[in-house]
Amino acid sequence: MTTPTTQPAPAPPSTSQNSSTQATAAWFKDTTFHDVACPFCGILCDDLEITRTNGKLKVANTSCPKALAGFERTLPPASPQIAGRDVSLAEAISAAVALIKTAKLPLYGGLATDVEGIRATMALADRTGGVVDHVLSDAQYRNFAVVQSTGWVMSTLTEVRNRADLVIIAGSNIHPIHPRFFERIVCNAESMFDDPPIQRTVVFIGSGLDQSAVVGQRIANTITLDCPPNQVGDVIAALRARLKDAPLSQSSSVAGVPMSAIDGLAKLCHDAAYGVIVWAPQSLDFANADLTVQVICDMVRELNQTQRFVGLSLGGNEGATSAAAVSSWQSGYPLRISFASGKPIHDATQNALNRMLAAGEGDLLVWTAGFTTGVAVPKTHVPTIVLGTPGLEMTQPPAVYIPIGTPGVDHTGRLVRNDSVVSLPLRNLGRSPLPSAANVLESIEAALHL
């Protein structure tokens, strides 16, 4: 992964009526940004070249659909609103403060923002006795349940990119979620340690998994073990047994996968110099999916008794990895935290916002979504304060709406990469002068003290 440059971006223009024409012209000066980190995927590819022409952004060196949609999106007109009526930012903040002051159990959801925005959310939740959860935490808890019970042995994107000679994709349709994962991590033509780099075998376990990006001279072989998504764990459990020479039933297949294919994969695992099994919890969307993650991690741990074998969990879109990281730093717990008692209480079931909203718990929803328009605000009967990117999907008009900028596009910020080992700085590319989520949330908290 390349190291981001620290070329400063211009400061945003003042939003006051007295801002000068000269300052605005400088803000929209045509320029090119190099080594830009992309905030629209958890991999945070940091090699992008972005041009700004007449205030419009253009991605110059990739066709990644997430990067194109994120950076090149034209923002629709948006203004702070109270009950659908345009107001000033100060008036919207005052209205939000009034709602929060009267709330007995505010719910802080979405959390699709950067490290600074999540820090500000945590501080506000602590101050007001609220509950904090991320929009994608259902998928994250397929991992967290395993980490909390037995732990795991994990790798990083950089380690896999440079060392792996066997990559197993476990039941996860990775290409639509992370369009450059194979290009950057699996099919890369160069390596830090080998010249020419070692070739690698890629194995897909599951059905309907997009393999179109697995191309190039780095790939020695591609193998598919076709099985239903909810039986990927069965295939891996059989693979784990064969790796230990444990006897199995006399069946000639497991979940439709011939035993000969499972035995062949067991040999590949034994022979691998650096094997990795990859999954995206977002793709494991079926009952008890955490058990599939459990059997993956158990297999990896056992293989590490005699060789080098690791796991790699992907995800982290919409700032999910950053939210879990900040929550752990500041409270000691990964999300789903209630401050209602005056101290952080973690409960993965009781403090799940989707469950609380469905059960009619909580009396105010504060929803933050600064990256994409698809983090729809859930329909609820309680008043809602929305801090969202212009064009955000909303099923009903919120009590208060404040348009916010996107980290890495409209303002600077930081995100934690989805392997949880690196936080990358995000640039201000000057698309708009919209405020950051952190600035708005900090203004709300400051007003609560008055």
Cβ neighbour number for residue 195 with a 10 Å cutoff: 7
pLDDT digits (tens, 9 = 90+) for 218-256: 999 999 999 999 999 999 999 999 999 887 877 789 999
CATH code 3.40.228.10 region(s) in the chain: 141-315
pLDDT digits (tens, 9 = 90+) for 288-324: 999 999 999 999 999 999 999 999 999 999 999 999 9
Nearest to 41 by CA among 159, 211, 174: 174
Q: How many whole angstroms separate alpha carbon 407 and alpha carbon 86?
A: 24
Cross-strand bridge partners of residue 203: 168, 223
**CATH 3.40.50.740 holds for 81-136+318-448:** yes
Does 427 score more than 70 pLDDT?
A: yes
131 φ, ψ to 5°?
-115, 140
Nearest to 187 by CA among 214, 209, 164: 214
Q: How many whole angstroms separate alpha carbon 175 and alpha carbon 416?
A: 20
Average pLDDT over residues 158-171: 96
* Cα-based angle 68, 29, 22 (whole degrees, multiple of 5): 140
CB-based contacts of 431, cutoff 8 Å, min separation 6: 52, 55, 57, 75, 405, 406, 409, 410
* Cα-based angle 400, 98, 18 (whole degrees, multiple of 5): 65
Q: Model's pTM, two decimal places? A: 0.90
Q: How many whole angstroms separate alpha carbon 128 and alpha carbon 201?
A: 52
Q: What is the CATH topology of the domain spanning 141-315?
A: Dimethylsulfoxide Reductase; domain 2 (3.40.228)
Cβ neighbour number for residue 271 with a 10 Å cutoff: 12
CATH code 3.40.50.740 region(s) in the chain: 81-136+318-448
Average pLDDT over residues 334-354: 96
Does 209 score more than 70 pLDDT?
A: yes
* Cα-based angle 170, 211, 196 (whole degrees, multiple of 5): 95
* CB-CB contact of 291 with 233 (8 Å): yes
